[in-house]
Chain A
């Protein structure tokens, strides 16, 4: 046992000192030159990726929100359009119906008016004709009478003729 450790310090202290020093220097140098920048860069990149992912997620949500909003707007617009169209159609139908109605009423009125006018005109014309016929017949009768009364015999002949006629009737 003693022999195993004999000269241990003499022969190996140098190795321990050199390797320990070398390792510590390596640790310090790498810490300053490598690990700090590398780990920092990795950390930063991870953060940026994380934020990028989060913002992408946000953008996606925003997009979805906008899309649904657009959809709603579109639906609303469509409904409104339908409503307007429906109203317009109703209005049109109403107007057409109204126009038809009023036209019919007006027409009927006019026809009625025309009929009344025609009626009145006819009546007037008939009355006129009657007047004229009566006037004419009176004049004829007057003339005839005047002529008949100039000649007694003829008067009598006429009367007799007339009487014959009456009998025939």
Chain B
């Protein structure tokens, strides 16, 4: 079954069957990654452009490795060294990249919706690698894959997402991803970072609730996903201090005891250790943070493969 889409912009309009297809393809890709020579010729001759308007280490290099493993030609463009600095508009930059022969464009942008604009104007496939507060679908897919790999299923699991929900693209995409796959989701954070309006946004999903009390929310959780707290939230009046945030919403060993015994701890990185998570937990057995990074490459290989719609089999 092919993925009948040109672009990957978010999971909000994906069916659970499409997500399952992506996860199954990811499993095939992990097999390639376990080989001594991790390279297949599947996308030979295809050109993929990494267009990053915002700094990124893990996401950019993960897409880069994924493209190389599939033998695609990869061009890295960052906004600070390109014509963007000279004031070129997004549309003009995209048209230039397409004219240069890009088959797929991986875009990270600080503004929500920027990849949608590109996707609506280009023949090339556009993959959203994070747009503003809006979406980060490849992150959600790698989180889903990591959990499925460890626990066998998503359906019926209790997931607690903790932190700055309103300003988090990771939270939004995971809401759609885990929600559609049947997880029970509890969103937890201070009221300035978690509006009850979220429930209106996701009313199509089976089970989402909100809580301002992490000690209560974390009870019997199978998964705890900690979000990164941006320091500018204090300056803009949303939070009094890191200290108070850490006291109420930081993940500690003590709090983790309320979750299920083998509950997993996830974090999209980069971590503020000592704020949203203590170092001992970040490097504990329960933490799958490094698995998330490793699986990210396989997920992105699957995304490229399925969007390319290539007839070539993964051999």
**A and B from one assembly?**
no
Chain B contact residues, CB within 8 Å of chain A: none
A positions within 8 Å CB-CB of B? none
